[in-house]
Amino acid sequence: MSKKQFFLGMFLASLIGGVVALAGVSFFIQPQPQSNFDEKQQTSFVNLLSDKDFTIPDGINFVASAEIVTPAVVHVNTTISYSGRQQRDPLQEFFQFPQRDGGDQGRPMPMSSGSGVIISSDGYIVTNNHVVDGATKVDISLENNKRYVAKIIGTDPSTDLALLKIEATGLPFVKFGDSDKTRVGEWVLAVGNPFNLNSTVTAGIISAKARNIGILENVENNLQVESFLQTDAVVNPGNSGGALVNLAGELIGINTAIATKTGSYSGYSFAVPSTLVKKVMDDLMMYGTVQRGLLGVNIRDISPELGEFLGKEFPVEQGVYIGGVNDNSGGKEAGLKEGDIIIGVDGRKTNSVANLQEMVARKRPGDKVEVEYIREGKTYKTTATLKNFAGDTDIVKKVIPKTFEFEGVVFEDIKDSLKEALRIQGGAVISTVSGGKWRSAGARPGFIITSIISSDGRVRVQGAEGLVEILNDLQGEEIVVLGMFQDGTEYYFEVEVD
């Protein structure tokens, strides 16, 4: 091929390429039929590049959800009862942001902060149990800077949830969504107060569901429920108890924990799903304590390791293996046996222990559940009536302790379990201290008064009512108050009784 022919070929190729490019541009700039999507979005790449208004598609617009939720997420500041060697659990280390204020006689009152979500216009607030655990005072700050003191209605360590109440009406609140309908990959927002940065909004996706991370420990009767929603929305200390919402502004979870080696966000956070939150809040509101319906079986996840341990093969790759059935339990009465594999509850698949625990934890004693299970390769269904830990179907209401007040200090009887743990015969616990000379003298919420020393000698305290009677008889005297904190640290202070 000559040089002349080569250059002529290159020219023709360039000419044809230019014609094709012009034709393509002409096609894209020709008027196209208007679709519903075009009408809804009213945007194009042209107005994006020319700095005109750009409408984000509704499906990924965070603004509307943030505007709905932010006014209903509150800052929770708690004052913790003093303990001479107070310790924090891993949740507190990760989520609470410790502060200190000046205390009397060199004894500071530990404080912590977290978040909460208003769930009704009349002031009910959901937060984490570890945010208010041991609190003697709970202060609530709204986004508009209004301040309230909250009452703790009830707590549930087994799910790390708590219900608070402030005296207000007409408050903004977040509606409950259905966490069951939340799908992996769906956009979510986390709203809270990380590092005391109020009303912070972060975005991420649901990265997993029914996640058990083994963070809830020392729960009574080992009834902890961990079936978290896992997200990659940024969550840090102070977000604890805050909202995880979908793009409709509906509550789908309460931010509770993070996976971290440093105490700060490292990529994953975990939230209690809203279906479980709603059930727990309803229980605390109606009964003051959570009603747990139990199937009464010992369970483990199906896995190759379990198969090797048992020396058997399973007919399924996912499910919940029954390692034992408790006597007088709902599972026993329904005919479940050791070796059965539970694969469904109420028509929903249960692929893991966390999933099964969450499904059952939504129920109360006396509720019936349909259990689908595999036995010897065949699939069966049975109906089980759930029971409480005592083995019956009774609803248990929380017994509210009787309190007695003297000079701004509120006392209540010490619990039998605490008496046994501290090896004492009696005493009265300081519930709250409103201030004044008792606080200045060293009285602290949580302190157990065991004896009073006066000019007449030493008198042992048997209970709260008896303590108030003793104090009434000692008016005008300066007394020595002896006792201990709930970790066993002994302490005393002097105060004059009016």
Is 414 in contact with 429 (CB distance < 8 Å)? Answer: yes
Say how far apart CA 121 and CA 172 lie, in whole Å: 6
pLDDT in tens, 188-212: 999 999 988 888 999 999 999 999 8
Angle CA 168–172–176, to nearest 5: 115
Using left for φ > 0, alpha for ψ between -120 and 50, and beta otherwise, residue 119 falls in alpha
pLDDT higher than threshold 80 for residue 97: no
Q: Are residues 233 and 148 in the same domain?
A: yes
Give the strand pairing for 135-141 and 147-156.
Answer: antiparallel
Domain boundary among 330, 354, 385: 385
pLDDT higher than threshold 60 for residue 38: no
52 CB-near residues (< 8 Å, 6+ apart): none
- What CATH number is associated with residue 376? 2.30.42.10
Q: Are residues 281 and 324 in the same domain?
A: no
Assess if residue 159 is contained within a domain: yes
pLDDT cut 70: percent of the chain above it: 82
Q: Are residues 89 and 127 in the same domain?
A: yes
Say how far apart CA 218 and CA 220 lie, in whole Å: 6
Assess if residue 66 is contained within a domain: yes
What is the predicted pLDDT for the residue at 29?
44
What is the predicted pLDDT for the residue at 88?
43
Q: Are residues 276 and 369 in the same domain?
A: no
pLDDT higher than threshold 70 for residue 60: no
Say how far apart CA 55 and CA 43 lie, in whole Å: 6
- Where is average pLDDT lowest: 49-58, 241-250, 441-450, 477-486? 49-58
Q: Are residues 87 and 135 in the same domain?
A: yes
Assess if residue 303 is contained within a domain: yes
Q: Are residues 157 and 197 in the same domain?
A: yes
DSSP string of 439-493, one letter each residue: HHHT--TTPEEEEEEETTEEEE--SHHHHHHHHHHTTT-EEEEEEE-TTS-EEEE
Q: Are residues 196 and 313 in the same domain?
A: no
What is the predicted pLDDT for the residue at 3?
53
Is 248 in contact with 236 (CB distance < 8 Å)? Answer: no
DSSP E strands, 220-332: 228-231, 243-245, 251-259, 268-273, 297-301, 320-325
Number of domains in the chain: 3
Type and span of the H or E element at 183 = none
Is 380 in contact with 363 (CB distance < 8 Å)? Answer: no
Assess if residue 15 is contained within a domain: no
pLDDT cut 90: percent of the chain above it: 59
What is the predicted pLDDT for the residue at 432?
81
pLDDT higher than threshold 50 for residue 33: no
Q: Are residues 205 and 316 in the same domain?
A: no
- What CATH number is associated with residue 96? 2.40.10.120
Assess if residue 155 is contained within a domain: yes
Q: Are residues 251 and 303 in the same domain?
A: no
Assess if residue 31 is contained within a domain: no
Q: Are residues 413 and 272 in the same domain?
A: no
pLDDT higher than threshold 80 for residue 307: yes
Q: Are residues 428 and 450 in the same domain?
A: yes
Assess if residue 397 is contained within a domain: no
What is the predicted pLDDT for the residue at 2?
57
pLDDT higher than threshold 60 for residue 23: no
Which structural domain range is residue 381 located in?
297-385
Q: Are residues 223 and 328 in the same domain?
A: no
Assess if residue 11 is contained within a domain: no
Say how far apart CA 498 and CA 493 lie, in whole Å: 16
- Where is average pLDDT lowest: 114-123, 384-393, 425-434, 456-465? 425-434
Domain boundary among 320, 350, 385: 385
Q: Is 5 exposed, middle or buried (0-12, 13-18, 19+ CB in 10 A)?
A: exposed
Q: Which residues are catalytic?
A: 130, 160, 240
Tokens matching residue 39:
């009408």
pLDDT in tens, 263-302: 777 788 999 999 999 999 999 999 989 999 999 999 999 9
pLDDT in tens, 137-172: 899 999 999 999 898 999 999 999 999 999 999 999
Residue 444: name the closest of 427, 453, 460, 432 by CA: 432
Is 438 in contact with 407 (CB distance < 8 Å)? Answer: yes
